[in-house]
């Protein structure tokens, strides 16, 4: 049916969402003028009523025609379109009727006022339906508080973020990974009210059912799956999805889609079932923020007190914020500076803030590691080129977030390596030129 409508009609139709704002503005102004005429102060503006009503009525009629043209494109929920269409037509007729009534010699203010109230209600109702058609019926109340949602007849919010996935292997691929991507990127045009291309992406069943261009998903074959083809086209291609102006899927989201389709597009499979491994697993862990990825930096922290910064600087340290959005600190001993116990003690004033600490070649000893052990958020720690032994490392018992530890050019031995083995986040330990025997690195 789409093919029978000329492009020109569709072209004009696309202006409906633009033009439709004119009657909304004019008619609301007309209502305000009409009703407020009762008050002395607004008398002065009353003579504008006829003009605004005329403009409102004409633009409403224009919007009706364009709206009809747009509806010829298809892809909208037919029930909603029906109500919206006739609501719009009724609105235009009512506006003209009010004009005609005002031409009468004798106007009864009560009738006129009732007319305006009905006009307003009809305007709100029709406008709301139009919004639902464009953005989807769940758009308006998506972020509303649950009581408001309940009143509007929506189920309480499903907060996917709060559904903790404790272990990566138990994550459900479709529900925990694919659905959120569809929700974020596709669902505004492929929902129950607006079913572009006859494709509904709200549930597993509907996704698998596909749309008018065929199967959206062909299990095991991403290359032939229409949905996957569309999201991977060049961005300026006519068929690229999501269409121009809407945020495209990120590379990693596309990667997850591809992997899910190629592994059979199953509904209830967990990551363990699909034996996700290697790179995809790493990426998923990062994406879902679970597993071995340190979560400290996800917790916001207030900026450090400036007096502490001064104090630490005076004690021989360089300081920097981790980035403009992260108030965590990177602290290093100034080059060539020997750091005493007293100076090191100062670090505890910023103990929650310090995540990177560089104490290379600063003359620190085993004793001072007791102080370092009180910095719970350390992720990177450089202790290289210092006279440290295994006794010192024994004092480092609480640094569970540590990912990088440099012990090169110290006097540690294999005993230290055994000690730090228990750190669950530790990925890199360096012990070049130490008493560690066996392989270097």
Binding site for another protein (CB under 8 A): 251, 297, 304, 306-307, 309-310, 313, 318-324, 326, 329, 332, 334-336, 382, 384, 404, 406, 408, 428, 430, 432, 440-441
What percentage of the chain's residues is helix, strand, coil (to nearest 5)?
Answer: 50, 10, 40
Neighbours of 347 (CB within 10 A): 24
Q: Which helix (H) or strand (E) holds 64?
A: helix 49-71
Nearer to another protein, 401 or 408 (CB): 408
Q: Smallest distance from the beta carbon of 426 to another protein, in angstroms? A: 13
Q: Smallest distance from the beta carbon of 173 to another protein, in angstroms? A: 23
Nearer to another protein, 215 or 403 (CB): 403
Q: Smallest distance from the beta carbon of 196 to another protein, in angstroms? A: 30
DSSP result, 94-129: HHHHHHHHHHSSS--HHHHHHHHHHHHHHHHHHHHH
Q: Smallest distance from the beta carbon of 430 to another protein, in angstroms? A: 3
Burial of 19 from C-beta contacts in 10 A (0-12 / 13-18 / 19+) = middle
Token reading at 409: 């050019």
Q: Smallest distance from the beta carbon of 381 to another protein, in angstroms? A: 11
Q: Smallest distance from the beta carbon of 279 to another protein, in angstroms? A: 10
Nearer to another protein, 86 or 432 (CB): 432
Q: Smallest distance from the beta carbon of 345 to another protein, in angstroms? A: 21
Nearer to another protein, 151 or 320 (CB): 320
Burial of 264 from C-beta contacts in 10 A (0-12 / 13-18 / 19+) = middle
- Distance separating alpha carbons of residues 177 and 257, to the nearest angstrom: 9
Q: Smallest distance from the beta carbon of 177 to another protein, in angstroms? A: 20
- Distance separating alpha carbons of residues 196 and 188, to the nearest angstrom: 10
Nearer to another protein, 169 or 403 (CB): 403
Q: Which residues does residue 382 pair with via DSSP β-bridges, in sequence order?
A: 358, 406
3-state secondary structure of 297: helix
Please calculate the CA angle 336-427-364 and round it to the nearest 5 degrees: 25
Of 345, 342, 335, 350, which is closest to residue 385 (Cα–Cα)?
A: 335
Nearer to another protein, 53 or 329 (CB): 329
**Angle between helix 109-135 and helix 78-103 axes, rounded to 10 deg:** 160
Nearer to another protein, 238 or 324 (CB): 324
Nearer to another protein, 68 or 287 (CB): 287
Nearer to another protein, 110 or 335 (CB): 335
Q: Smallest distance from the beta carbon of 200 to another protein, in angstroms? A: 32
Distance in Å from the first CA to the final CA of the chain: 69
Neighbours of 355 (CB within 10 A): 23
Nearer to another protein, 79 or 310 (CB): 310
Q: Residue-wise over 215-235: b if at least 16 C-beta within 10 A, else e?
A: ebbbeeebeebbbbbbbbeee
The residue with tokens 């116990």 is 341
Tell me the residue length of the chain.
441
Q: Smallest distance from the beta carbon of 127 to another protein, in angstroms? A: 38
């Amino acid at each position: 049916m789409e093919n029978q409508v000329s492009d020109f009609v569709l072209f004009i139709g696309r202006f409906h969402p633009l033009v439709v704002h004119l009657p909304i503005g004019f008619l609301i102004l007309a209502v305000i003028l009409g009703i407020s005429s009762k008050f002395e102060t607004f008398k002065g503006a009353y003579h504008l009523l006829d003009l605004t009503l005329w403009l409102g009525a004409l633009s409403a009629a224009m919007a009706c025609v364009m709206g009809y043209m747009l509806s010829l494109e298809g892809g909208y929920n037919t029930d909603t379109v029906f109500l919206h269409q006739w609501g719009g037509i009724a609105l235009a007729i009512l506006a003209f009727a009010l004009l005609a009534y005002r031409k009468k010699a004798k106007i009864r203010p009560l009738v006129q006022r009732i007319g305006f109230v009905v006009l307003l209600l009809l305007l709100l109702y029709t406008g709301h339906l139009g919004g639902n058609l464009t953005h989807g019926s769940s758009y308006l109340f998506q972020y509303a508080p649950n009581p408001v949602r309940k009143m509007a007849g929506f189920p309480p919010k499903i907060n996917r973020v709060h559904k903790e996935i404790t272990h990566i292997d138990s994550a459900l691929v479709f529900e925990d990974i694919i659905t959120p991507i569809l929700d974020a990127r596709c669902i505004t045009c492929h929902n129950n009210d607006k079913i572009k291309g006859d494709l509904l992406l709200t549930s597993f069943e509907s996704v698998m059912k596909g749309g008018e261009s065929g199967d959206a998903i062909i299990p095991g074959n991403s290359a032939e799956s229409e949905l996957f083809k569309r999201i991977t086209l060049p961005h300026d291609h006519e068929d690229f999805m999501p269409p121009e102006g809407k945020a495209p899927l990120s590379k990693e989201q596309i990667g997850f889609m591809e992997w899910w389709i190629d592994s059979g597009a199953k509904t209830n499979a967990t990551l363990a079932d699909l034996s996700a491994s290697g790179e995809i697993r790493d990426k998923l862990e990062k994406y879902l923020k679970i597993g071995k990825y340190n979560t400290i930096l996800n917790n916001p922290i207030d900026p450090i007190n400036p007096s502490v910064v001064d104090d630490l600087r005076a004690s021989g340290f360089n300081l920097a914020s981790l980035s403009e959005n992260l108030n965590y600190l990177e602290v290093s001993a100034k080059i060539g500076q020997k750091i005493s116990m007293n100076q090191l003690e100062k670090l505890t004033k910023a103990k929650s803030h310090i995540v990177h600490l560089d104490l290379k070649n600063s003359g620190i000893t085993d004793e001072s590691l007791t102080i370092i052990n009180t910095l719970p958020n350390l992720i990177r720690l450089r202790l290289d080129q210092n006279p440290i032994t295994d006794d010192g490392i024994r004092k480092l018992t609480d640094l569970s977030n540590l990912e990088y530890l440099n012990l090169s050019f110290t006097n540690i031995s294999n005993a230290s390596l055994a000690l730090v083995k228990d750190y669950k986040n530790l990925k890199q330990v360096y012990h070049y030129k130490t008493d560690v025997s066996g392989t270097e690195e």
